[in-house]
Amino acid sequence: MALPDSKTTLLTVLKWILICLLIGFFSGSASAFFLVSLEWITQFRIHHNWIIWFLPIGGLLVGLSYYYWGESVVKGNNLLLEEYETPKKTIPFKMAPLVLAGTLLTHLFGGSAGREGTAVQMGGAIADQFTKLFKLEQSERKILIILGISAGFASVFGTPLAGAIFALEVLYFSKINLKSIILSFLVAYAAYFTVEFWQVKHTHYRIPDVPEINLTNLFYTVLISVLFGIAALLFSRTTHFWSSLFSKNIKYPPLRPFVGGIVLSIAIAGFGFTKFAGLSVPVIVDSFSNANPWYDFLLKILFTGFTLGAGFKGGEVTPLFFVGATLGSALSLVVPMPIALLAGMGFVAVFSGATHTPIACTIMGMELFGIQPGLFIAIACTIAYFSSGSVGIYKSQIVKGAKYKLYQKWL
């Protein structure tokens, strides 16, 4: 006998709430473990810089692990985007431990990479396992992928609102229904509070001085936001260039990060570019109060593009934060606006341009820096989004909306 509609609806609601809480808890716990581990190995590397010379060995280990055990998940974030667009089969759970180990090895030996890709992939792999457990249909798998991305992003950066919207925006808003939106916010907060429960802290930034909105400040904001968009374009193109170059010239995949590791270890350890190793969070924090050299953002683009293009694991977002913050900081020498505001605008604007997610980045900026600089941040993210080109860091991302129409019309 079929259950009455009201009972069926109630059970469905309870089922999805349970799924969100489970994904939030397991993804948040995975992110908490990842953040603690990442901090430990980062501190170890900082105090033992000689380990950078072993980056080729770390690269070989990463390459071999993916070649023999991770061929089905080597696409990383792009696999999540592809499975959302055209659902085929459940994402193997092994994606989570492989990307976790690969990222930790990359950072331990000094590769220039981020962390969001790791958290998002762990979240996506964990979330998709509930397809079989709850006997969900293929169409419902799309919701799980949204939940995994949302949980991973929210938990690793401590920005639940931005995490929820990023998951929706990066997958193209018009294909998202109300149910997905509500659940994305629920799982983001579940993951966020899970990390809080484990007492894992996130990095804090401050913009103490926000000037008034006037024509002069708006002019400078638009001008530098175009530069942020160009920096995002350069970052994306550089990463894809190195990836293509390594793929074409080194046919045996495990050798790519090995060869790349040799070059990186010589450059980073041999020539003293250790400030660009790993996340480089101290440099980002310092950029809010001290002007960076004009070339710092270019070197981070080069090192990160080369690291990820060679096949090391990690993410692109924290390096994008570095690129934007240091570029904004350097511009403070010629732009008459507060250095912290310029660094903060660059922090999120370059990210916006490289991921085609201006709404999520605007909200992230407000979550990190407060409401007061919100208008400057919104303008920076929007202008950078439109001026960063049609190719972002995720090759499988479907670019639609206003930006897509603009490029179709004029380019």
pLDDT tens, 267-276? 999 999 999 9
Give all domains of the chain, ordered by start, each with its CATH number. Answer: 8-197 (1.10.3080.10), 215-410 (1.10.3080.10)
pLDDT digit string, tens, across residues 124-159: 999 999 999 999 988 889 999 999 999 999 999 999
- Model confidence at 396, pLDDT cuts 50, 70, 90, reads confident
pLDDT of residue 405: 58
- The CA distance from 385 to 84, in Å, is 23
* 72 CB-near residues (< 8 Å, 6+ apart): 92
Positive or negative torsion for Cα 393, 201, 130, 311: positive
As a whole number, mean pLDDT of residues 251-258 equals 97
pLDDT of residue 86: 86
Q: Is the pLDDT score of 10 beyond 80?
A: yes
- The CA distance from 75 to 63, in Å, is 13
As a whole number, the mean pLDDT across the chain is 94
pLDDT of residue 177: 77
Q: Is the pLDDT score of 173 beyond 80?
A: no
As a whole number, mean pLDDT of residues 48-73 equals 97
- Model confidence at 404, pLDDT cuts 50, 70, 90, reads low
Q: Is the pLDDT score of 411 beyond 60?
A: no
Q: Is the pLDDT score of 176 beyond 90?
A: no
pLDDT digit string, tens, across residues 319-374: 999 999 999 999 999 999 999 999 999 999 999 999 999 999 999 999 999 999 99
How many CB atoms sit inside 10 A of residue 243's CB? Answer: 18
Q: How far is CA 90 from CA 67, 78, 79, 85, 309, in A?
A: 20, 14, 11, 13, 26
- The CA distance from 197 to 192, in Å, is 9
**Locate tokens 């070059």: which residue?**
263
In percent, how much of the chain has pLDDT > 90?
87
Q: Is the pLDDT score of 409 beyond 60?
A: no
Paired tokens of 192: 């966020």
pLDDT of residue 391: 86
Q: Is the pLDDT score of 407 beyond 80?
A: no
Exposure string (b/e) for 88-97, b if CB count within 10 Å is 16 or more? eebbbeebbe
Q: Is the pLDDT score of 399 beyond 80?
A: no
Exposure string (b/e) for 125-143, b if CB count within 10 Å is 16 or more? bbbbbbbeeeebeeebbbb
The answer to whether 326 touches 287, Cβ cutoff 8 Å, is yes
The answer to whether 161 touches 198, Cβ cutoff 8 Å, is no
pLDDT of residue 175: 64
pLDDT digit string, tens, across residues 88-135: 889 999 999 999 999 999 999 999 999 999 999 999 999 999 999 999
- Model confidence at 245, pLDDT cuts 50, 70, 90, reads very high
Q: How far is CA 128 from CA 1, 86, 91, 180, in A?
A: 31, 14, 6, 15
pLDDT of residue 1: 45
N- to C-terminal Cα separation, the chain: 59
Positive or negative torsion for Cα 158, 162, 164, 167: negative
* 346 CB-near residues (< 8 Å, 6+ apart): 224, 228, 231, 323, 324, 325, 326, 327, 328, 329, 331, 380
pLDDT of residue 320: 98
Name the residue type at position 17. Answer: I
The C-alpha torsion from 257 through 242 and 351 to 221, rounded to 10°, is 140
How many CB atoms sit inside 10 A of residue 178's CB? Answer: 7
> Furthest-apart CA pair in the chain: how many Å?
74
- Model confidence at 403, pLDDT cuts 50, 70, 90, reads low
